[in-house]
Structure 1
Amino acid sequence: MPVRSKKRNPPLKRVLVHVLRVAIFVSVLWLIRDAHRQTVWSDADLSNSPQAIEFVQQSVPEATGIAGERVVDSSGNAIGSILQTSPQSDHIIGYSGPTNCLIVLDAENQIVSVAIANSGDTVDHVRAVKDDPDFAKAFSGLGFETSDQWQQIDAVSGATLTSYAIIASVANRMGGSAPSLKFEAQPDMENVRALFDDAVRIELTDRSNIWDVFSDSAKVGFLLTTSPFADQLSGYQGPTMTLAGFDNDGKCVGLVVDQTYENQPYASYLNDDRPFQKFYVGKTLEQLAELSPEDSGIDGVSGATMTSLCVADGLVLAAKAAIEAPANDEAGGSGFSRRAISWWADAITVLLTIFGMLLSFGQIGKSKSLRIAYQLAVILFLGLINGHMLSQASVVGWSKNAIPWSVAPGLVLLSIAAFVVPIVSKHQPYCHHICPFGAIQQLAKKRSPWPVVIPKTLNSVLEFVPFALLLLVVIVAMTGTSFNLASIEPFDAFAFRVAGWATIGVFVVGLVASLVSPMAYCRFGCPTGALLGFLKFRADSHRIGSRDWAAMLLLVAAILFRVVA
């Protein structure tokens, strides 16, 4: 009688089904990012912000209000400025998101004080920074010419990544152009609509004199403003702030005078002079930057020659400044660099990550004492000292904003390894070896004084808890709810000086549960572990199981929240 051969799992089907799982994960991340992009991070005009006005008056007692970026006294005279780090520094991420800071400057453009306006970083870390009075005071006296003093500011203990991101954000903003004390920073919307009929709002870009222009449904172009780069140029009676509109193809659609010290009749001539306007229409920003008004046939507008030549020169200066503006890809845009000890922390994280992967693949670690030494190193360095741990707060924060290469490269590389290795292999090194809380549970695994066998039915119910927490994560991320995602996991408790009680509670309960049932938190409470387990390439990856239906539920929930937003 012939022996039947076992039916082998088709390799192609395994790969295709697994690729579908990865696509579900990526789709949820994309939906989270897309939903976040619909929210405006900061209001460019702080004139009506009670928070900003109160901060200004605390910093500069003689101040009575804000006009654009200018801090004014009771007579309306500019006595300083107020800036925000957003959006110019939104690419600088702490542990899980950017922090928008308010910066008050005196009349000499020196920093008077710095305060956090809002933050996408972990709540406990942000609170620790706010509660440290010495951190904010360390910025006092620094200015736009500062190049090597940012790294002298000490990070807040227990909130190192958040502190470094704030320092880098302020340094990056102060590495740009100084604000104008002559003109209000935000263009008048009536003047914007003179260039774009359907304009309803404008948003400042990462370049201080470029504004994106939006209709109700889409971006319709952008504005170039000549202030502050041409404020030193004077016409008949003073400087002029001009707006140049550009369509989505980058072609100029016209000019309009927004604010000026000239007499109104002279200023209005420029808006109505067709030959003057025609010379600029159709030109790109790059072409505008290369113009030489003296050689291009611009003889000035009849009756406003000095004003028109001032505007022409100012447009060239402003275009050059916009083109030459730094790309702001790195946190050290104005001289900020992290201290050597921080780079050593990243190096240790990378080495422990590599060692953990070698353990996972069975290349080393057969010695019990070596494994215990590694676990203790993970707890000490990744947990207590560096705070480099993968969490849902970091996954969501990076999805919404950016990956913090410049502030936490070690954590980023650890996270890449945590996701990539399970996707392409049958190994899950982060959960099994690299996670500090997992290491604590492993050390306690064979030392349980109260071992308990969990009934099968209860075990099946508890296994769905991590997926329920992942559903909560998706809802919070898609709705923008101000819920602290770090509070549903124990990882922030390693920074016990700044940790919230909810995080500490999860840590304690998870540890006690692990003494009762080995690795209880990993099996019944960890959403990050459940996510990595879902992405793990298995021998049965060709089969659609309960984890796949749970993942589809997360995707459907994300789509529904995105549709109704």
Structure 2
Amino acid sequence: MRKTTLSKKILQSITIVLILLAIALRLGGAREWFAPSKERQLEITDIQNVFPNASSYRLKSDKSIEVRSDKSERIGTILSSVIYETSQLGYNDVLPILIGLDLDHKVKAIAVLDNSETGEFMSHVYDSNLLSKWDGKQVDTTLIQRKVDAISGATYSSEAIIKGVNATLSTYLSIEQSHQLNWLRITQLVLVFILMLCSLIMVFTKRFKNYYFYYLLAVLLVFGFFTNKMLSLSIFETWLQNGLPWYTNVELILILVASIIMTFIGKHKYYCNYLCPMGALQMIVSKLSPFKKRKFVKKVFNIDLRLIYLCFIWASILMGISLPLSSMEPFLAFAYSVSGWLMIGAGMLIIIVSLFFNRPWCALCPTGCALDSIPSFKQKK
């Protein structure tokens, strides 16, 4: 028993060291960690995403970009949200865009520059042909007033593109843009904060213990399917690389802060038990299942598998190895319109296994392991 405890403590210590080293390297690389990342300068390869035969370009006095071919012929104009400072925040970070105008002052194409959005969400945006909604339209005030709907399943990313296009065109045409309340966003924030408040009440009191099942249903619907807000290693990596996106993800940042504080004061697994939609899904299935539940085996030769998994991921990140972190955890299964069949199948498998075992994914979850690695200042008996 002592050997098992010692091995677990050693692996936890290694995990903590790796996480702190990753954070230290990130803070050493960029001092403005709490601000959105700065957008890089444009290159000719960016211009060629809109005008493939572009050879040179120059910035004009109105901040538009004149594009010329290898024969020095003018072939069009580029409007850059980077230069106009009109890039909008998506789910993880800003989404810089380029708007290409032909010689007739019509939209030739719109391109999205390199960004930190989740690849599956951006692929869904591209597949929906959102970027072609403005093609061939004359650039005037009616184009700004044109209604373009966000893409279901990639709401944050698509809204950032739509708002970025409108803001960039408005700045170019010197039109003051009206700001409207985003009632969907407000609704999401209200529901998230209500659930956070309910979770804290349940942790510190037993008054609503009988309503825990219905609370889990609300967590599943709100965090899983409505907002797609959940902590993951993919989110942690993006934040380490680009800083904390307070504007678009303030609720998720507050959830992380609350989870750390709760662990400090001895309330372990606060996030896993009260705010994680995958944990809520497994507990709901377990409560509804008529079968006798067994404890899911997560150790091999007294070694915690999820600690090994987490150490492997953090070590890979530190060594510069690119991992598809969004695909290494099944959370994208909630965004069924975006995720592939493999991820949906992983979600279905977790549901089936949950009929017979208690929270099988929680026994392997590296995100939960990362949160569990946080030491508690409360003395244990």
Q: Which category describes the TM-score, using the shorter chain as reference length?
A: 0.7 to 0.9
Describe the shift of the 1:478–1:501 C-alpha distance in structure 2 as closer, same or farther (beyond 3 A).
Answer: farther
Q: 1:440, CA displacement in angstroms?
A: 0.9
Q: Distance in 2 between matches of 1:432 and 1:105?
A: 52
Q: Deviations over 1:129-184 (max 9, x none)?
A: 1111145415875869899749x432211011222333344455556668xxxxxx
Q: Which runs of 5+ in 2 are unaligned?
A: 1-14, 32-36, 59-64
**Residue 458 (str. 1) matches residue 300 (str. 2):** yes
Describe the shift of the 1:531–1:115 C-alpha distance in structure 2 as closer, same or farther (beyond 3 A).
Answer: same
Describe the shift of the 1:175–1:456 C-alpha distance in structure 2 as closer, same or farther (beyond 3 A).
Answer: closer
Q: Distance in 1 between matches of 2:105 and 2:204?
A: 56
For residues 520-539 of structure 1, the aligned pairs below 5 Å read 520-523=360-363, 525-535=364-374, 537=376, 539=378
Q: Distance in 1 between matches of 2:298 and 2:361?
A: 17
The partner residue of 1:498 within 318, 338, 359 is 338
Task: Report the structure, 1 or 2, having the larger helix content.
Answer: 2
Given that 2:95 and 2:115 are in contact with CA atoms closer than 8 Å, whether structure 1 keeps it comes out as yes
Q: Distance in 2 between matches of 1:165 and 1:434?
A: 26
Aligned to 1:162: 157
Aligned to 1:132: 128
**Residue 29 (str. 1) matches residue 3 (str. 2):** no
Given that 1:32 and 1:477 are in contact with CA atoms closer than 8 Å, whether structure 2 keeps it comes out as no
Describe the shift of the 1:433–1:88 C-alpha distance in structure 2 as closer, same or farther (beyond 3 A).
Answer: farther
Partner amino acid, structure 2, of 1:122:
T
**Residue 488 (str. 1) matches residue 328 (str. 2):** yes
Q: Scaled by the length of structure 2, what TM-score is found?
A: 0.76
Q: Distance in 1 between matches of 2:249 and 2:133?
A: 24
Q: 1:442, CA displacement in angstroms?
A: 0.9
Q: 1:429, CA displacement in angstroms?
A: 2.5
Given that 1:144 and 1:175 are in contact with CA atoms closer than 8 Å, whether structure 2 keeps it comes out as no
The partner residue of 1:355 within 165, 179, 198 is 198
**Residue 44 (str. 1) matches residue 38 (str. 2):** no
**Residue 399 (str. 1) matches residue 253 (str. 2):** no
**Residue 510 (str. 1) matches residue 350 (str. 2):** yes
Q: Deviations over 1:57-109 (max 9, x none)?
A: 5xxxxx76542432235763434322444487698543334434332134587
**SS of match in other structure, 1:407:** helix
**SS of match in other structure, 1:104:** strand
Q: Distance in 2 between matches of 1:407 and 1:142?
A: 31
Describe the shift of the 1:98–1:26 C-alpha distance in structure 2 as closer, same or farther (beyond 3 A).
Answer: farther
Partner amino acid, structure 1, of 2:195:
L
Q: Who wins on radius of gyration, i.e. which is larger?
A: 1
Describe the shift of the 1:460–1:177 C-alpha distance in structure 2 as closer, same or farther (beyond 3 A).
Answer: farther
**SS of match in other structure, 2:267:** coil
Given that 2:264 and 2:377 are in contact with CA atoms closer than 8 Å, whether structure 1 keeps it comes out as no
Partner amino acid, structure 1, of 2:362:
C
For residues 80-479 of structure 1, the aligned pairs below 5 Å read 80-86=76-82, 93-106=89-102, 111-138=107-134, 149=145, 152-171=147-166, 173=168, 335=178, 339-367=182-210, 370-446=211-287, 447=289, 449=291, 451-452=293-294, 458=300, 460-461=302-303, 463-476=304-317, 479=320
**Residue 78 (str. 1) matches residue 74 (str. 2):** yes
Q: Deviations over 1:223-263 (max 9, x none)?
A: xxxxxxxxxxxxxxxxxxxxxxxxxxxxxxxxxxxxxxxxx
Q: 1:538, CA displacement in angstroms?
A: 5.4
Q: Distance in 2 between matches of 1:511 and 1:119?
A: 33
Describe the shift of the 1:396–1:144 C-alpha distance in structure 2 as closer, same or farther (beyond 3 A).
Answer: farther
Q: Which runs of 5+ in 1 are unaligned?
A: 1-20, 58-62, 179-332, 543-565
Given that 2:110 and 2:132 are in contact with CA atoms closer than 8 Å, whether structure 1 keeps it comes out as yes
Describe the shift of the 1:515–1:397 C-alpha distance in structure 2 as closer, same or farther (beyond 3 A).
Answer: same
Q: 1:474, CA displacement in angstroms?
A: 4.9
Q: Scaled by the length of structure 1, what TM-score is found?
A: 0.54
Q: Which has the higher contact order (CA 8 A, sep 6+)?
A: 2
